Amino acid sequence: MNKEQDLDVILLGRIAIDFNPIEIYCGLEDSQTFKKYLGGSPANIAVGLARLKQRVGFIGMISDDQFGKFVLHYFEKEGIDTSHIVKARHNENLGLTFTEIKSDSDSSILMYRNEAADLKLEVSDISEHYIQRAKYLVISGTALSQSPSREATLKALYIAKKYHIVVVFDIDYRSYTWNHHDELSIYYSIIAEKSDIIIGSKEEYDLMYALEGSNLTCNEIAKKAQASGSQLVVIKEGKDGSLVYSANEIYRVKPIPVKLLKSFGGGDAYASALIYGLLMKLPLADTLLLATASASMLVSSHSCSADMPTIEQLEQFIQEKLKTMNADNIVWSL
């Protein structure tokens, strides 16, 4: 290990505030009371990794107001390094996500993303020295959706490659942030070609490879990604779980049944446990069991960040579940 690598993982991208209604299972227009949570996919994963005792850093932009202060306090409390989270320069706000939970399977969101701070990150905010300090760099695809955040992200990628830092690409597609499908195909491809690990849904891979051909099967997707050098390709298929391609093996991962509260948040929990397992060099099957367990825990809770489990909570949850089901029915090699 490079002795400068005093961080396990640095994440780059969006930090937001989630407002989740207390009066759930009704339209958002009728919700009257809201709870405020830290949100944004890479921010959630950062919290997840910190709870799993990894040394976590973050590159991002926050608002220069009370909500920005809330984020900093929150991250500091979780032990996340905030030295490279910069403040908005032109009164940009943090993005907001008001969630509408109509039923356990019908959730939607109302976004405040106009002039959002996270997309104003600039190339000059990216420090070569900071990135060198990490073993892993996690790039969130929404950071690519607009300039100047797009170029800041590409700069971070180039620096990571220069120092042979493991690059994780979490595609995290959000339809409202992109101008044209071709643009996301282009930028997703540029990142994917240089990523060691890619995490996305089948639909996200289809969008990524749309310029080069379409209607790819999961196997074809994995082959394409591996051809340009990716070591691990995770393809999520919603309620069917996920397919995970390593160099030599393919795993099928099933969700662990729980009482659903909401239909989102699971992906971020999955990603944080997956990256944890990789950093800890756990066997891949064990890593994937942690990942799917963490996802199940999150979709049965009210928040996406505050409810991220510790390793003890994860293990206890798995132990509990394994009383009634077999691990081989959750994760198995094809």
Residue linked to tokens 């932009």: 61
- Contact pick of 212, 220, 315, 320 for a copy of itself (by CB under 8 A): 212
Handedness of CA 130, 311, 236, 231 (dihedral sign): positive
Nearer to a copy of itself, 99 or 296 (CB): 99
Q: Of 184-203, which residues contact a copy of itself (CB under 8 A)?
A: 185-186, 189-190
- Look at strands 16-21 and 7-12 and give their pairing: unpaired
Q: Given the rule CB under 8 A, which of 26-34, 245-253, 312-320, 323-331 is the region that contacts a copy of itself?
A: 26-34
Q: Does 307 bind a copy of itself (CB under 8 A)?
A: no
Q: What radius of gyration, in Å, describes the C-alpha atoms of the chain?
A: 19
Q: Of 123-142, which residues contact a copy of itself (CB under 8 A)?
A: 123-124, 126
Task: State how far the Cα of 145 lies from the Cα of 34, in Å rounded to an integer.
Answer: 28
Task: State how far the Cα of 313 lies from the Cα of 296, in Å rounded to an integer.
Answer: 12
Closest alpha carbon to 263 in 83, 69, 105, 64: 105
Q: How far from the centroid of its chain's Cα atoms is residue 319's Cα?
A: 25
Task: State how far the Cα of 35 lies from the Cα of 22, in Å rounded to an integer.
Answer: 7
Q: Smallest distance, Å, CB 211 to a copy of itself?
A: 5
Q: Does 236 bind a copy of itself (CB under 8 A)?
A: no
Q: Does 69 bind a copy of itself (CB under 8 A)?
A: yes
Task: State how far the Cα of 193 lies from the Cα of 151, in Å rounded to an integer.
Answer: 16
Q: Does 67 bind a copy of itself (CB under 8 A)?
A: yes
Q: Does 312 bind a copy of itself (CB under 8 A)?
A: no
**Which residues of this chain interact with a copy of itself, rule CB under 8 A?**
19, 22, 27-36, 65-67, 69-70, 73, 91-93, 96, 98, 100, 110, 112, 114-115, 122-124, 126, 147-148, 151, 154-155, 158-159, 162, 176, 179-180, 182-183, 185-186, 189-190, 211-212
